[in-house]
Chains A and B, each alone.
Chain A
């Protein structure tokens, strides 16, 4: 009998294998994309009113108090909107004033978020900061910056701007960053207007409500871990 050439050295065999493997992986990715797209579509005001937890809540989330707390069920921190039911689920009840109001309509909040998202791109935030952990590493991550202790009542950044709420403090800082030096490495003046600053803060508040599977870990929980600070 003739000594047959093995299929393992046959280029046609490997070409077909490459086509099948690539096709299979691509189809799986597309299928998962449909599933993920449904899960990450932005929620609505009705969702918030009805207590529906969305991975990316609607823009009117800026009317609510947002915190970042441990969920025993999921084993990491999750955004809590409008109060915690005690088991790491949002109650969607407790409101929080944002520039003096907690009754932004879907249109008003949506317009602010739109302005803020546009601003985040046109001011090139991502080439110094990280957003959802992606970007440059020259400045702090902004994913949960809305919840940063430095901006809360009694926090160093809020005190420095002389404002009495965190949203006003953040907006003030964004408009005049280089007059509030926080570190030898400063944020430059990017010509951000008062309205743009308001939009950017709304964008940051909204981003802090996105369910990032526990990233970043232990955000704002640990004080005094280094050098007794």
Chain B
């Protein structure tokens, strides 16, 4: 049974990782809370009107999403780095300092979002309030702060990777994280030309979530398989390289599916359709890979005649398997639904996108990052085999079920919008509200709110579990 997850106890890098995970979990809660506010506003439009409007709630909802994931991603790298390289992370003191800079910046940004909300139409507002560009609304001063913190993180990773043992996983992470940090720069300018604006905006959003983040998940899954079920490193890393080739091979040019209707030339129809249609393939491969390695190691164990699970961290492995399936379902299937231009002409800018967004961010990223939090809990508490508590199980079912429920509801709302507002009514103001007033749309929004409450309740179980599971007597120590 693999136990190298224990090698880093006492490591400062792992301590920093737990800091990152803690703040990530807090932001995850904030993301869900502000999502609930926005969901209530769909059902009761007067709720917090002109106090905390939908635009503000939604901005915090999606910003908290992006930032908690970045925090958890940084944390996961600081966690696995000592295990993979065999040495303590170099420059960890600077890393710790940058953590506090990052946290302070986020707190200031969020307070300004909540209490200032909007400013006059000038550059000062862009610099100090927000940039008003979905997902990367952070004001310009914070952009520079994020770049500094990201560079410090990349420096930690590179110095450690070059001095220590450079495994395939670390090599992939080094290449991936420098692209991840560098791409942020393409979203840091103002232009009067909204087509140029959105062209480069997608370089950040798409090349993060449909390229560099996916590769990151591949590397994390590889690490998880080795540490949790003792999968063979050579096999795991071979799959990882195949996944990198498939993910970047499809994802980079798959960007074309965002360039169908923003003023860019028609040739993006063909390029976007072809490459984004290929994007689900690596996600299928990743799903098969996780189950294959699990079956292979468990089969080898069974052959010894001893009935014993090879999994040394049940809750974490559950979330990793949910990741393999959720990534395929949310990013792959729900993405493919509306990726061809012939369909996207009608689905672009509807709740369909929102349905895909919810299941994809959850399935591809939230799952595996929650799994990493459980791995950290196991390591910090020196547990040999960690088992699921009742809270682990409730959290898993309620969060996964809640997100799936929201996704189905939003998909139905999307269909109503596509058929009524778009196909029948031609997308005007009146057409939009005809769609929104439909009974099926209204019911879908009710269900989305209910499922949102289920998700949030699941989060409460998760928070309780992460705080208490380490002390539970049920584990093998």
| Residues of A participating in the B interface, judged by any CB pair closer than 8 Å | 9, 11, 14-15, 17-18, 21-22, 25-26, 28-29, 32-33, 35-37, 39-42, 55-56, 59, 110, 113-128, 130-141, 144-145, 148-150, 156-157, 178, 182-186, 188-191, 193, 196, 199-200, 207, 210-222, 225-227, 229
CA distance A185 to B46 in the complex (A): 7
Q: Which residues of A contact B265 (CB under 8 A)?
A: 35-36, 39-40, 55
Chain B, 246-270, CB within 8 A of any chain A CB: 248-249, 252-253, 255, 258-269
| Cβ B428 vs Cβ A18 within 8 A | no
Tell whether A21 pairs with B55 under 8 Å between CB atoms, given A114-B192, A122-B125.
no
Chain A neighbourhood of B196, CB < 8 A = 37, 40-42, 56
| Contact (Cβ within 8 A) A128 B58 | yes
**Bound complex: CA of A133 vs CA of B349, how far in Å?**
5
A216 neighbours in B (Cβ, 8 Å)? 345, 422, 426-427
- Complex Cα distance A110/B245, Å? 45
CB <8 Å contact, B263 and A132: yes
Q: Is the CB of B428 within 8 A of A140?
A: yes
* Shortest Cβ distance from B52 into A: residue: A188
CB of B237 within 8 A of CB of A11, answer yes
Q: How far is the CB of B130 from chain A (nearest CB, A)?
A: 7
Contact of B420 among A118, A126, A220, A226 (CB under 8 A): A226
Q: Is the CB of B261 within 8 A of A215?
A: yes
Of the candidates B58, B241, B423, B429, which one forms a contact with A157 in the assembled complex, judged by CB atoms under 8 Å apart? B429
B241 and A17 within 8 A (CB): yes
A150 closest partner in B (C-beta): B429
Contact B261 A217, beta carbon cutoff 8 Å: no
Contact partners of B198 in chain A: CB under 8 A: 131-132, 134
List, in ascending order, chain B residues with CB within 8 A of A189's CB. 50
CB distance from B295 to the nearest CB of A (A): 18
What's the minimum C-beta distance from A50 to chain B, rounded to whole angstroms? 20
Q: Is the CB of A14 within 8 A of B241?
A: yes
Residues of A near B194 (CB, < 8 A) are 117, 120, 131-132, 207, 210
With a CB–CB cut-off of 8 A, which chain B residues contact A15? Answer: 168, 171, 241
When chains A and B are docked, how far (Å) is the Cα of A88 from the Cα of B197? 28
Within the assembled complex, what's the spacing in Å between the Cα atoms of A188 and B50?
6
Q: Check A18/B248 contact, CB under 8 A, given A42-B192, A136-B54.
A: yes
- Chain B positions 266 through 298: 1 when the CB is less than 8 Å from some CB of chain A, otherwise 0: 111101000000000000000000000000000
Whether the Cβ atoms of A122 and B427 lie closer than 8 Å is no
Give min CB distance, A171 to chain B, whole Å: 13
Chain B residue nearest to A11 (CB atoms) is B238
Residues of A within 8 A of B125 (CB): 118, 121-122
Per-residue interface assignment for chain B, residues 77 to 114, with 1 indicating a CB less than 8 Å from any chain A CB and 0 otherwise: 00000000000000000000000000000000000000
Q: Are A137 and B118 in contact (CB under 8 A)?
A: no
Given contacts A25-B249, A149-B430, A213-B261, contact A128 B54 (CB under 8 A): yes
| Residue numbers in A under 8 Å from B42 (CB-CB) | 138
A40-B195, A149-B428 in contact; A184/B262 too (CB < 8 A)? no
Known contacts being A124-B130, A134-B349, is A222 close to B45, with CB within 8 Å?
Answer: no
Q: In the complex the two chains form, what is the Cα distance from A135 to B54 in whole Å?
A: 13
| Contact indicator B424/A219 (Cβ below 8 Å) | no
Partner-contacting stretch, out of B364-372, B378-386, B431-439: B431-439
Q: A-B pairs with the 7 shortest C-beta distances?
A: A121-B132, A119-B121, A215-B261, A133-B349, A14-B241, A216-B427, A127-B55
User: Which residue of A is nearest B248, CB measured?
Assistant: A22
| B123: contacting residue among A118, A135, A199, CB under 8 A | A118
* A and B contact pairs by CB, cutoff 8 A, 20 listed: A33-B199, A40-B263, A55-B263, A56-B263, A59-B192, A118-B122, A132-B198, A133-B349, A136-B54, A137-B349, A137-B354, A138-B58, A140-B429, A148-B429, A213-B261, A218-B426, A220-B428, A222-B426, A226-B420, A226-B425
Asked if residues A134 and B134 are in contact (CB atoms below 8 Å), the reply is: yes
Q: Contacts A137-B351, A140-B428 hold; do A29 and B253 have CB atoms under 8 A apart?
A: yes
Would you call B193 and A41 a contact (CB within 8 A)?
yes
Complex: A100 Cα to B261 Cα, angstroms: 32
Which residue, B41, B122, B234, B264, has most C-beta atoms of chain A within 10 A? B264
Residue in B54, B237, B249, B345 whose beta carbon sits within 8 Å of that of A22 in the complex = B249
Tell whether, in the assembled complex, residue A221 and residue B426 are in contact, meaning their CB atoms are under 8 Å apart: yes
B12 within 8 A of A: no
CB contact under 8 A between A125 and B248, given known A132-B262, A214-B345: no
CA distance A53 to B349 in the complex (A): 27
A139 CB to closest chain B CB (Å) equals 8
Docked-complex contact B238 and A126, CB < 8 angstroms:
no
Decide: A32 and B271 in contact? CB cutoff 8 A.
yes
A184–B354 Cα gap in the complex (Å)? Answer: 22
User: Are A125 and B434 touching (Cβ within 8 A)?
Assistant: no
- New A-B contacts (18) at CB < 8 Å, excluding given A36-B259, A137-B417, A219-B427: A11-B234, A36-B199, A39-B265, A122-B118, A124-B56, A124-B59, A125-B132, A127-B58, A128-B53, A134-B258, A136-B55, A136-B134, A156-B430, A182-B433, A183-B433, A185-B436, A186-B49, A212-B261
Contact indicator A217/B345 (Cβ below 8 Å): yes
Judge whether B457 is part of the interface by a CB distance below 8 angstroms: no
A124, B114: Cα distance in complex, Å: 13
Contacts of A115 in B (CB 8 A): 121
Question: In the bound complex, how far is the Cα of B263 from the Cα of A40, in angstroms?
Answer: 7
CB-CB under 8 A for A14 and B242, given A39-B264, A141-B432: yes
Residues of A within 8 A of B20 (CB): none
Contact check, A215 vs B345: say whether CB atoms are below 8 A apart.
yes
Near A by CB (< 8 A), chain B positions 401-430 give 417, 420, 422-430
CB-CB < 8 A to A186: which residues of B? 45, 49
Q: Using Cβ atoms and an 8 Å threshold, which residues of chain A touch B446?
A: none
Instruction: State in angstroms the CA–CA spacing of A211 and B260 once bound together.
Output: 11
| B428 x A213 contact (CB < 8 A) | no
Q: A136-B54, A148-B429 are in contact. Are A123 and B195 (CB under 8 A)?
A: no
Contact with A along B333-372 (1 / 0, CB 8 A): 0000000000001101111011000000000000000000
Q: Is the CB of A122 within 8 A of B121?
A: yes
Question: Roughly how many angstroms separate A199 CA and B122 CA in the complex, as a whole number?
Answer: 12
Asked if B453 lies at the interface with its beta carbon under 8 angstroms from chain A, I say no
Shortest beta-carbon distance, A86 to chain B, in Å?
Answer: 23
